[in-house]
Amino acid sequence: MDRGHMKKATATLIKRMTEDELFEVLDSVPLGREYVVDLDSICKIDGYCYIKKIPWNQREMIYVLEPPGWFPTELLDIKP
């Protein structure tokens, strides 16, 4: 994915766990924490829950720039 041309936005962490309980943010990360995200990166991604040892399919994710990584969009309030 080309990171040279990004559509940056601010996203706020609004909940710790996805509805299906397969993706969870650590308790040490406070609700309300703000992230810079790339709006152009939103896509569906397959993954795996290592705690429950089951895969998840086609979750909508967005790329967070710092710390770098992918987050489920359902955990974030995204402000373009």
Please state, in angstroms and rounded to a whole number, the distance separating the CA atoms of residues 38 and 27. Answer: 24
pTM for the predicted model, two decimal places: 0.86
- Give the chain's length: 80
pLDDT of residue 43: 96
pLDDT attached to residue 29: 94
pLDDT of residue 5: 76
- Return the domain boundaries, the chain: 8-79
pLDDT for res 1: 52
Locate the DSSP E strands across the chain.
8-13, 34-49, 54-64, 69-72, 76-79
Q: Could you report the average pLDDT of every consecutive run of 10 residues in the chain (80 residues)?
A: 77 96 92 97 93 91 94 95
- Contacts (Cβ under 8 Å, ≥6 apart) of 25: 13, 16, 17, 75
